Structure 1
Amino acid sequence: MNISSRFPTPARPQADTRPHAAIIGAGVGGLATGALLGAKGYRVTILDPLDQPGGRAYAHRQDGFTFDAGPTIITAPWLFENLWRDCGGKLEDDVDLRPNTPFYQVRFDDGTIFDYSGDQVAMEAQIAEIEPRDVMGYRSFLDESRRIYEVAFEQLAHKPFHSLLFTAKTLARLVKLGGYRSVYSVVSSHFRSDKLRTLFSFHPLLIGGNPFSATSFYCLIAHLEGKYGVHHAVGGTNALVRGIASLVTRNGGQIRLGQTVTEIETEGRRASGVRLASGERISADIVISNADPATTYGKLLKTYPRRRWTDVKIDRGDYSMSLFVWYFGTNRRYDEVKHHTMIFGPRYKGLLDDIFRERRLAEDFSLYLHRPTASDPSLAPEGGDAFYVLSPVPNLAGNTDWAVEAERYRRRIEKRLEETMLPGLSRHIVSSLIATPLDFRDRLLSWQGAAFALEPKLLQSAWFRPHNKSEELDNLYLCGAGTHPGAGLPGVVSSARIVADLVPAPATFVTGVEGATRGQAS
């Protein structure tokens, strides 16, 4: 399937002689990279096994409901504004981003409700009700979050970590900011209340990190959200995906769906193109992989004599948790439920130990409940609501048999939601779909079924993460959640910009002849 028919491509001469960039994966990272490279002057072909673009940001459409498959929290909207600007457009012409207030509603296990927002006065009033002494801690935490943000995000998120000298200099600065500490450790130094320690440390879970081991650099999220807010896209996050896809095709790029890349072909130290499951070979001047780096190196370059990302190193990596996601639609509305709700269970550290260390499916859980119809009723039939509920679970390095456990686990979550947020839920469900770690492995081709690639720990971040410019091949580049700067929509868009800055200018290829010759399917 070729998506170009849905996004009209400007007419070009039949023989397109521009240098050719083949991109593996039509996730947000791959699409953003393709859009930027097209604007830079490359002929772009994006290949993806699914039937629509998006990857983890796919959309399920069922029974009149639209369910975003994955990311739903949009921060740093200026990153998307800049993407559109650099591709010759305006974000607001294609996508309608709107703020969420509050950012999230949080429900603790004892029933305490907390509205998490960027309103410092309202936040301090709620904090004072839980622990008055922690109001000053909140202020000092925000100050520390700002200091980390100004270095780790503003100065470094868009720069590649390829040089050991640059890395050493940078790490020295980050050590001064306490980057060797965990998010939970930093938060605990500011707050006395266990509830507030949980509230202000859970954010790494949104990008696959364990708050008890994720580097404290991720404390920057508090300042990022406070400064720019939390947004959603009208029509769902996949509306944002469709907008980025249109940027690709406007510059003559192709998005070929239903196409699985099985191998990156090489000539010496260069990637010469890709081979598809159909047997088709597509030559390219540069290759960019938006796939999980472990899949890129461990499967697509399986026979290549790798020097750094060997099978042994891949196997020894610590991968993020996976997710169990239940998408469901109801024939009634739950108007008291916010757009984003975090539902904490009775345990915090113990549950995370079960997920990340023991890789054991626990009997209890904490949940993220997404109700986009709180802001956008068009995503459900009239009078209904669209939901998804997400539970962090162990990746497939554990021994959970999801073929057996999936429905039992879904019923337990349904019961928990009925008891807490959605009374009478079981009587009102009219549409249902689930995704387990098996889907992340088999459908999204994620190593060990991990939802966010490598776990974002200090020694798996920056220089220690798979580089944006491959260490193995001279013209292979990586974008997406598994490379620098990491997971989350801001991270993958930043990775796309890094790659677009790293690739050679199209004029590097002799008068486009190489691109014209090598860029054709053979």
Structure 2
Amino acid sequence: MKNSNPSRAIVIGAGLGGLSAAMRLGAKGYRVTVLDRLDRAGGRGSSITQNGHRFDLGPTIVTVPQVFEQLWADCGRDFRAEVDLWPVDPYYEIRWRDGSTFRVNGDDTAMEAEVARLSPADVPGYRKFLRDSETRYQFGFEGLGRRPMNKLMDLVKELPGFVKLRADKSVYAHAASRVKDERLRMALSFHPLFIGGDPTRVTSMYILVSHLEKEFGVHYAMGGVQAMADAMVRVIEDQGGEVRLNEDVAEITVKQGRTTGVVTEEGEALTSDIVVSNADPGTTYEHLLSKQTKKRWTPKRLNKSRWSMGLFVWYFGTKGTRDQWADVGHHTILNGPRYNGLLDDIFIRRKLADDMSIYLHRPSVTDPTAAPEGDDTFYALSPVPNLHGKSVDWAEMTETYRANMAKVLNDQMLPGFEDHLSASHIFTPQTFVDRYRSPFGAGFSLEPRIFQSAWFRPHNVSEEIAGLYLVGAGTHPGAGIPSVVTSSEVLNKLVPEARNPVIPPVQRLAAE
């Protein structure tokens, strides 16, 4: 028999962090309501469709399927039975302006041959780098990343590991200590850009991504990340929860230092036992809790924090091109003429450079549903400065930057593609502010520097308000699909079982 007065939880935001949190709260017996201001679930992993082209707006790959398998298992379900996940091979190809390339896959022999093709003398150093990566994966992802870090002692206990693994070195500095070829240094160090960090300044702990790729592969969800988000919604609804779209939260309500629920922009007051925010921590503390006095995450502190770079993303479709550009696969990284200098322009000088590097996503070579038959769907992403301080006027610069990007794509990868354009849509950092309420238009919340990681990051259990919890890219363990989903695993260890479960525990266990 279902409880007529169950414990209730409200989740703000239907991103992957919020949806995974809702699933785990539902498994604990909470009646969960998820509220999101967008018209599709998935947050930055949602999609839009234009002229038959489905554009995945944000993340495009899954690197640690096990976190989803565990999430589904925690809810008594089978992830593989509900989501069609395909391995991508090669994972991606890196291209430089001199014509050299580097194709990445999971085969050790093939990868060493790729390294040797660029720089035979760097093969031994490459092997050492992979060993370093595995060590940091065990310490950083399986260790720190899957445990709460909301108490200072949680950090103090790990300090010897940080010292031993030289967490003070940057990702680029560590790669440079292992290989001499500048192309390989780039190929082994660029990964922090996919979680919003400057490779020349974020902690070398993030070289663990190289092990993730090697050990678990790179995968694509058929139907895009949107299909994964939709599958998560089905689990939540099967648990008795609800996902309400086009519902914007205006305020988290507080009484005597404890959250009591939320108020929507339409003025509807919803009460709950706990609130979980998948909104950016900056948005949570500065806007959703604007009436509350903060001790740690004050507006001044948030303004002084270092935020991840912005993103310029051009989503476009081409008609009748499925058999063209046969050398352009699912994922391609096209380097500009500079690496370190461009990073300085983006992160330090906050200058919109004339040159650019581009990540090109072509899902239609793997997933026919991404485009009309015979057509192609693409997105081209370029890191740019965020909107903090002196910022770019994107109302003025959008078309100029798009035209520059088109020229690079035409000259380097997709000759003549503009003659086939059948759909076009652009996101700038200003879009991230307007669509996601992202502070300063940052693409990945707080930059994952060493003093903005682990305990130094906004905690999963709020330091400010009792009964409030945080998940998603801006909290521990950080950005990227595996970490965002793992934030709900950490949450699961902090939130108590529902006092009045939707289904009494015995019946719930029997049902599982």
**TM-score using structure 1 length:** 0.94
Separation (CA, whole Å) in 2 of partners of 1:505 and 1:241: 25
- Matched AA of 2:29: G
User: How many pairs were matched up?
Assistant: 500
Equivalences for residues 239-250 of structure 1 within 5 A: 239-250=227-238
Corresponding residue number in structure 2 for 1:456: 448
Q: Is the 8 A contact 2:17 2:472 kept in 1?
A: yes
Q: Is the 8 A contact 1:213 1:457 kept in 2?
A: yes
Separation (CA, whole Å) in 2 of partners of 1:248 and 1:500: 15
Residue 304 (structure 1) shift? 0.4
Q: Is the 8 A contact 1:335 1:374 kept in 2?
A: no
- Matched AA of 2:217: G
Deviations 1:341-375 (A, max 9, x none): 00010001110111111111110010100000111
- Asked if 1:195 is matched to 2:183, the reply is yes
- Asked if 1:408 is matched to 2:432, the reply is no
Separation (CA, whole Å) in 2 of partners of 1:414 and 1:16: 58
- Asked if 1:367 is matched to 2:355, the reply is no
Fraction of identical pairs, as percent: 49
SS in structure 2 of the partner of residue 133 of structure 1 = helix
Separation (CA, whole Å) in 2 of partners of 1:448 and 1:223: 32
SS in structure 2 of the partner of residue 156 of structure 1 = helix
Equivalences for residues 125-136 of structure 1 within 5 A: 125-136=113-124
Corresponding residue number in structure 2 for 1:389: 380
Corresponding residue number in structure 2 for 1:297: 285
Residue 91 (structure 1) shift? 1.0
Corresponding residue number in structure 2 for 1:497: 489
User: Which of 251, 271, 275 is equivalent to 1:283?
Assistant: 271
- Matched AA of 1:466: P
Q: Is the 8 A contact 1:337 1:374 kept in 2?
A: no
Q: Is the 8 A contact 1:49 1:259 kept in 2?
A: yes
Corresponding residue number in structure 2 for 1:444: 436
Q: Is the 8 A contact 2:170 2:204 kept in 1?
A: yes
Corresponding residue number in structure 1 for 2:424: 432
Q: Is the 8 A contact 1:60 1:69 kept in 2?
A: yes
Separation (CA, whole Å) in 2 of partners of 1:450 and 1:370: 20
Corresponding residue number in structure 2 for 1:4: none
Separation (CA, whole Å) in 1 of partners of 2:478 and 2:94: 25
- Asked if 1:335 is matched to 2:326, the reply is yes
Residue 172 (structure 1) shift? 2.0
- Worse-matched range after superposition: 224-233 or 237-246: 237-246
From the superposition, tell whether residues 511 and 409 of structure 1 become closer, same or farther in structure 2 (CA, over 3 Å).
closer
Separation (CA, whole Å) in 2 of partners of 1:53 and 1:492: 15
From the superposition, tell whether residues 89 and 511 of structure 1 become closer, same or farther in structure 2 (CA, over 3 Å).
closer
User: Which of 468, 478, 485 is equivalent to 1:486?
Assistant: 478
Equivalences for residues 132-147 of structure 1 within 5 A: 132-147=120-135
Separation (CA, whole Å) in 2 of partners of 1:473 and 1:173: 31
Separation (CA, whole Å) in 1 of partners of 2:417 and 2:372: 17
Residue 508 (structure 1) shift? 7.5
- Worse-matched range after superposition: 333-342 or 475-484: 333-342
Separation (CA, whole Å) in 2 of partners of 1:292 and 1:64: 31
Moved over 3 A (4+): 508-512
Corresponding residue number in structure 2 for 1:263: 251
Corresponding residue number in structure 2 for 1:8: none
Separation (CA, whole Å) in 2 of partners of 1:453 and 1:378: 31
SS in structure 1 of the partner of residue 145 of structure 2 = coil
Separation (CA, whole Å) in 1 of partners of 2:318 and 2:503: 58
- Matched AA of 2:269: R
- Asked if 1:347 is matched to 2:334, the reply is no
**TM-score using structure 2 length:** 0.96
From the superposition, tell whether residues 510 and 488 of structure 1 become closer, same or farther in structure 2 (CA, over 3 Å).
closer
Q: Is the 8 A contact 2:315 2:378 kept in 1?
A: yes
Separation (CA, whole Å) in 2 of partners of 1:58 and 1:510: 29
Residue 336 (structure 1) shift? 2.4
From the superposition, tell whether residues 425 and 473 of structure 1 become closer, same or farther in structure 2 (CA, over 3 Å).
same
Q: Is the 8 A contact 1:49 1:257 kept in 2?
A: yes
Separation (CA, whole Å) in 1 of partners of 2:288 and 2:223: 35
Residue 169 (structure 1) shift? 1.4
- Asked if 1:37 is matched to 2:30, the reply is no
Separation (CA, whole Å) in 2 of partners of 1:88 and 1:126: 42
- Asked if 1:86 is matched to 2:74, the reply is yes
Equivalences for residues 115-126 of structure 1 within 5 A: 115-126=103-114
Separation (CA, whole Å) in 1 of partners of 2:11 and 2:67: 21
Residue 274 (structure 1) shift? 0.5
Equivalences for residues 468-487 of structure 1 within 5 A: 468-487=460-479
Deviations 1:267-295 (A, max 9, x none): 01100111111011111100000000011
SS in structure 1 of the partner of residue 146 of structure 2 = coil
Equivalences for residues 12-27 of structure 1 within 5 A: 16-27=4-15
- Worse-matched range after superposition: 500-509 or 283-292: 500-509
Deviations 1:26-70 (A, max 9, x none): 000000000110111000000000001011001111101111000
Separation (CA, whole Å) in 2 of partners of 1:242 and 1:16: 28
Corresponding residue number in structure 1 for 2:301: 313
SS in structure 1 of the partner of residue 189 of structure 2 = coil
Separation (CA, whole Å) in 1 of partners of 2:391 and 2:22: 38
SS in structure 2 of the partner of residue 306 of structure 1 = coil
Equivalences for residues 506-517 of structure 1 within 5 A: 506-507=498-499
Q: Is the 8 A contact 2:31 2:501 kept in 1?
A: no
Q: Is the 8 A contact 2:148 2:154 kept in 1?
A: no
Separation (CA, whole Å) in 2 of partners of 1:247 and 1:158: 23
Corresponding residue number in structure 1 for 2:510: none
Separation (CA, whole Å) in 1 of partners of 2:315 and 2:406: 11
Q: Is the 8 A contact 2:6 2:502 kept in 1?
A: no
Deviations 1:198-238 (A, max 9, x none): 01000000110100111111000001110000000011111
SS in structure 1 of the partner of residue 263 of structure 2 = strand
Separation (CA, whole Å) in 2 of partners of 1:478 and 1:415: 42
Unaligned runs of 5+ in 2: 505-512
Unaligned runs of 5+ in 1: 1-11, 513-522
- Matched AA of 1:157: G
Separation (CA, whole Å) in 2 of partners of 1:262 and 1:407: 33
Corresponding residue number in structure 2 for 1:181: 169
Residue 511 (structure 1) shift? 12
